[in-house]
Structure 1
């Protein structure tokens, strides 16, 4: 059969997780393509997969334009939260969905750009049997419906999409009474759906089923049909640094704070400077995969810390006794096969809400400017006016659920740079890196991971579901 993946472009955090499944399908004899904005084609090619380039090759992706949409305001986010009657924790799920993820979803539903139309026309021509779409690219569901393909979401995080749509459906009458849109995603999809005569229903919004890599204890309860698959870490091909072949003389700890944040914000709040102070003098070896922006406010790199901008985590993890990280799902998952305990950077009790700020120095640490990305586009057009500036909380969106999960599993601890002193952080890092209890917890998580169906195991399941759901001849 023919299988089309769609991904959010130019983000390794969205490309790399799909590669093992795409290769499992390709190795089973199926034709596989990966669709994304043309600027992501080279990244896709490096994985050995064939790209489908979308959009005008003479224009940047929409996130790197002055027309990039800003996040929803806190007032609009809270207006919904009140009507939906959300608990404090549920409000955080809603913030993730409505304030963070609505932005990329809106990018690739736009009918004033060609990406969505290119995707539909490719599906009409190529006639895929199955479309597997990144949750941030719902235009793929329209393309699948038009071409008659079966379609499913690729869920690589907490399913705040299904959670939020279920809450909206439960309170549709209350939302209408309050003058709020009862389904903002459907409204956002309507221009594209109308262009192609497609009816908007739950199946279009949430897929005919979902391919989900998240462990049961970390995933939100929803009413979607899940195909659970093991997350196989993939980080591309890279020559081993010579020192990585050698067994470390002291416990080795990895420090990594993710690929995506450092593309859009300068510095790392007050987090990296404090972590560096906590690491100084510890009888451990630290490998820190940080770039110059993340080290912006660090006064001194300790003697026991080796800084390298990028190293393949699948190479590094087997040599480590612990990993300090930002709580991203992909980074968490890289440690699991190597049975490595976690120290998750998480500020307990701090909301994820993005706050607009009037800031004369918009480049200061911890601020987001829509339309800009370090190393790609760092200045707006002169006539575009001042950019909107948003203050980000000093933690990853997934940090709290991931930290709570590893604590519950006994495979790690929370590193809270705002609540803990340098001395407390130092003691916690050493404890997690040397304690047999944390190592045992990581081994238990590894056993659960091995018990989850592999990408190869789910290929027959996807073949069956594609045959059941596709509509073209």
Structure 2
């Protein structure tokens, strides 16, 4: 079975696909990963075959020059994200229409338009049996249908986009025939028609969805969902020997992430404030700060803090008693599958919703931004380290994740889908 993964160049998006791509390769299938030229570096580092196509998108450059868009991606400022896991009554026709209009203008078009033509050409030449596309890169769905391949969507967070789309389609059916504007469908229809593909709803959300979050974080959907256990991949790394040394104090990892801050020039928190607040805490703090975050450090580093550029989280978290972080899906999921309690400072995309559900399950605490952030993070961390209920909640969440299929166990299901797709096509002929 020849499988093509399609993504846009974000480190976390590529890393989220690696475990399944490896599983397919280990099962003897032919695997490649297509995307904008910038994505090739991420793919090659994972030991996978990269297919750079089209030209790099300019979405992040666009957002840097328009700070109001970067601010809108911070969930506290954006109703698009604050309502993502709310009741249906809050997902109104007007709200969703505005949401899809905005996403078409500055996300879907910017990411997909530079990639689509060459992606379709490549698919028609390489003839994949299956295309698995990252949830924003709908060019993968169009290219799959243009070459007759089966296709599915792979999410990297809570599936707000899938839920929003399903809700919008339901609301559209309730409206008069002459009053059903749908910016997303209109854009997809135009792009698909260029290659002789007719619109169908599967072009927006796939024939199935691969979801790497356990049931606790999943949203209601009538679509086919294939749950897959998250398997951490942090890129090329070396195991620091010091992490294996016994610690007399609890060990905490502190990371603020880098992707969003680097892309739009909007740091999520003040690194110096956080380090200063943790001074004197009865814990060994491993602080992973990038160059820009280090540049903001103006005081000395506290005695109980080990400042490092990078540590492989999958190797370090099993030796930690808590993780303090920004809610990024890679850090969040790696801590989850290792059963480590979390203190989360959520701001962008779905992080507030995931953090809230984590806290509700007793596996950690949420700390909102604002004045006195450092002191409030310290207070939350002291609770997480001293109250056994948090370790118990984190262990229960890990146990829930372990009930999900491993990537290798998903491979036969994907083969069955491809076989059914071929049979359906043969019957149509």
Give the TM-score, by structure 1 length.
0.78
Aligned to 1:48: 47
Greater helix percent: which structure?
2
CA distance in 2, matches of 1:425, 1:466: 48
Could you say which residue in structure 1 is the equivalent of 2:398?
446
SS of structure 1 residue aligned to 2:291: coil
Match of 1:146 in 2: 146
2:108 is matched with 105
Q: Which runs of 5+ in 1 are unaligned?
A: 347-394
Partner of 1:410: 362
Deviations 1:66-125 (CA, angstroms, capped at 9, x unpaired): 699965998xx989x9xx985289999998876568633222332xx4x21111011111
For the pair 1:223 / 2:222, whether they are aligned, the reply is: yes
TM alignment of 1:385-424, pairs within 5 A = 395-418=347-370, 422-424=374-376
Alpha-carbon distance between aligned partners in 2 of 1:94 and 1:435, rounded to the nearest angstrom: 45
The answer for the alignment partner of 2:75 in structure 1 is none
Distance 1:255 1:217, change over 3 A: same
Return closer, same or farther for 1:102/1:284 CA change in 2, 3 Å cut-off: farther
Distance in 2 of aligned mates of 1:91 and 1:321? 45
Local SS of the residue matching 2:282: coil
Counterparts in 2 of 1:101 and 1:333: CA distance versus 1, 3 Å: farther
Q: Select between 252-261 and 423-432 the one with higher mean Cα deviation.
A: 423-432
Larger displacement relative to structure 2 (192-201 or 21-30): 192-201
- Output the CA distance in 2 between the equivalents of 1:66 and 1:134: 21
- In structure 1, the residue matched to 2:304 is 304
Does the residue aligned with 1:336 lie in a helix, a strand or coil?
A: helix
Q: More displaced, 425-434 or 100-109?
A: 100-109
Distance 1:465 1:308, change over 3 A: same
Equivalent residues in 2 for 1:272-287, closer than 5 Å: 272-287=271-286
Count of aligned positions: 412
| Equivalent-residue separation in structure 2 for 1:66 and 1:327 (angstroms) | 24
C-alpha displacement at 1:159, in angstroms?
1.3
Give the secondary structure class of the aligned counterpart of 2:51: strand
Partner of 1:353: none
Aligned 1:1-400 pairs, distance under 5 A: 1-9=1-9, 11-56=10-55, 60-63=56-59, 71=69, 87=90, 99=102, 103-110=106-113, 113=114, 115-172=115-172, 182-266=181-265, 268=267, 270-295=269-294, 297-300=296-299, 301-346=301-346, 395-400=347-352
- C-alpha contact (below 8 Å) 1:69/1:103 kept by paired residues: no
2:383 aligns to what SS in structure 1? helix
Moved more, 11-20 or 246-255: 246-255
**Higher mean displacement: 461-470 or 65-74:** 65-74
Segments of structure 2 that go 5 or more residues without pairing to the other structure are: 73-77
Call closer, same or farther: CA 1:152–1:273 in 2, change over 3 Å: same
Pair 39,117 (structure 1): closer, same or farther in 2 beyond 3 Å:
same
Residues 392-422 of structure 1: CA deviation (Å, up to 9, x unaligned): xxx1222211211211221111122427665
